[in-house]
Amino acid sequence: MNKLVLTKLIPNLKTLITRGSYCRLLSTSTSSSSSPHDTDKTKILKDTFGRKHDYLRISLSERCNLRCLYCMPEEGVQLTPNDKLLSTDEVIRLATLFVKCFGIQKIRLTGGEPLIRSDIVEIMTRLNKLKTIGLKKIGMTTNGIVFARHCESLRKSGLDSVNISLDTLRSDRFEHITRRRGLVQVLKSIELALNSGFDTVKLNCVPMKSVNDDEIEDFVQLTKNTNLEVRFIEYMPFDGNRWNLDKMVTFRELLKRIQSRFPGLYQLKPSSLNETARCYKVDGFMGTIGFISSMTNPFCGTCNRIRLTADGNLKEEVSLKDAIRNGNTDDQLKQIMVDAIQKKKKQHAGAVNIAKNVNRPMILIGGQFVSWILQSIETNQLTHIDQKSGKASMVNIECKQATKREAVARGTIHLGNDILKAIESNSVTKGDVLTVAKLAAVMATKQTGHLIPLCHTIQLDQVDICFEINNEKGEIIIESNVIATHKTGVEMEALIAVSIAALTIYDMCKSMHKEITIGNIKLVKKLGGKTNFALNDKP
């Protein structure tokens, strides 16, 4: 194995780091752990939105040995007393139930800082035994301060992957961001992790304008000769971090900047639908970079994560710790788990006035990257208006991922019973009205991008037009269903389909009646993208 030579550079770190140019992590090789045995699952945890949950994040501690600006208020936080936190046995009991009864395949240990717990190796060892009943991966997120001290024992005990948080490669800046010293220890931890055969080693970085955004290219450079994945995470609001929109470096800004410096950057295919990061690779580099756009492009729609806090809560009002200590049986605990997942919301609460909100400090979230919806930025502003110039602008979808999009639109055309009878008997002078209307709707749908100036041209997978004749009201109900796999939605295509179908019927029947009316055209269903919705009413 080619060892990293980072330790040889440690004496010179001060000079390199001060210049902000420490990017010389060298190559390493990793070995994959053997595949665990699969077991039958008695039940898959699904919420009311059909999302399957097979990933459990367990916060082991609220405490941390750093005071990062974006994570914890400088004055600290009110911590839960130790006797109110999950004990070792309670952690294992709950994890066992999740794996054995609900098919959880991956567990990640978070904090605070998980390595603060003195029983961390014991927890890892006991969790590793769950691989015999279906668990596949155990990961950990750490700040890296003391990871090097535990790395070997954790690897032997069953740890498969590690994420290390680091926001700067400069010692003075590290002290400013974390309010503590320790950059050298974190760099040692990265080196040791890369040399210890973990499945993946990821580095989490939160870029902030005028704080550390001048080091973005240096972080990308770290992937040149290592299998490291550097992940850039959008700066998020938490109580005490004095969040300011002006500090946030968005995914699009990051991507544009990195592409200008590294033109060989290309996007990798996601390994699963539940990926939180969009992964890219610079041509010729060993490692990868990822973007977690929690703020500007939330990933709630595919969330497969269950989060268990250090004090034993699945949700604020659901305490598994209390249930255990009140003598609940395993069957009772399982029902509590199912009920809690059923209460899971479609997405996290928005932040209408996000800068004014008082949110829970990140240190108490348990490593959770909250998928906020920037209603203050997006909902209250017109999406097709450039906010700087005030002029009309097509939405940039370059950085979005292609997913299944579906839209259903509906409308009515009032013709009167005489015309309806003629249509049903196919005796209208101009021909088969509904067949022609259907063809016209399909053709028009394909031209939506040419008809509506700021719409994107989309390759459609399916266009279906249905007609329902209502003799009682003397009208035809027109419904369109449009499906595509694309980066943007197909709502306008569905609305165009209904509109053109109605206009075609009007054109073919106008000589028979002068008071034909078209109305109530609306979108009734949308699937895919940031939001889904469905209307139940029929015209």
> CA-CA distance, 192 to 169, in Å (whole number)?
17
Which residue among 214, 218, 461, 507 is the active-site one?
Answer: 507
In a 10 Å sphere around its CB, with 0-12 CB exposed, 13-18 middle and 19+ buried, how is residue 446 labelled? Answer: middle
Q: Cβ distance 483 to 405 under 8 Å?
A: yes
> CA-CA distance, 138 to 190, in Å (whole number)?
18
Q: Cβ distance 149 to 193 under 8 Å?
A: no
Q: Cβ distance 321 to 311 under 8 Å?
A: yes
Q: What distance, in Å, lies between the first and last C-alpha atoms of the chain?
A: 70
> CA-CA distance, 92 to 193, in Å (whole number)?
25
> CA-CA distance, 385 to 372, in Å (whole number)?
22
List the one residue out of 277, 297, 300, 271 whose CA is nearest residue 49. Answer: 300
| Per-residue three-class SS string for 306-366 | EEECCCCEEECCEEHHHHHHCCCCHHHHHHHHHHHHHCCCCCCCCCCCHHHCCCCCHHHCC
Task: Look up 507 and say whether it is catalytic.
Answer: yes
> CA-CA distance, 496 to 249, in Å (whole number)?
37
The CA-atom distances, in angstroms, between 215 and each of 173, 221, 285, 434 are 11, 10, 18, 62
DSSP 55-68: EEEEE--S--S---
> CA-CA distance, 6 to 27, in Å (whole number)?
10
Q: Cβ distance 124 to 157 under 8 Å?
A: yes
List alpha helices for 343-462, DSSP H: 417-424, 433-446, 448-451
In whole angstroms, what separates CA 271 from the centre of its chain?
14
> CA-CA distance, 61 to 311, in Å (whole number)?
8
> Which residues fall within 8 angstroms of residue 86, CB to CB, at 6 or more apart?
60, 94, 308, 310, 311, 312, 321
Beta bridge partners of 113: none
* DSSP state, residue 115: G
In a 10 Å sphere around its CB, with 0-12 CB exposed, 13-18 middle and 19+ buried, how is residue 246 labelled? Answer: exposed
The CA-atom distances, in angstroms, between 290 and each of 192, 198, 268 are 22, 18, 10
Would you tell me how many other CB atoms lie within 10 Å of the CB of residue 128? Answer: 17
The catalytic residues are 507
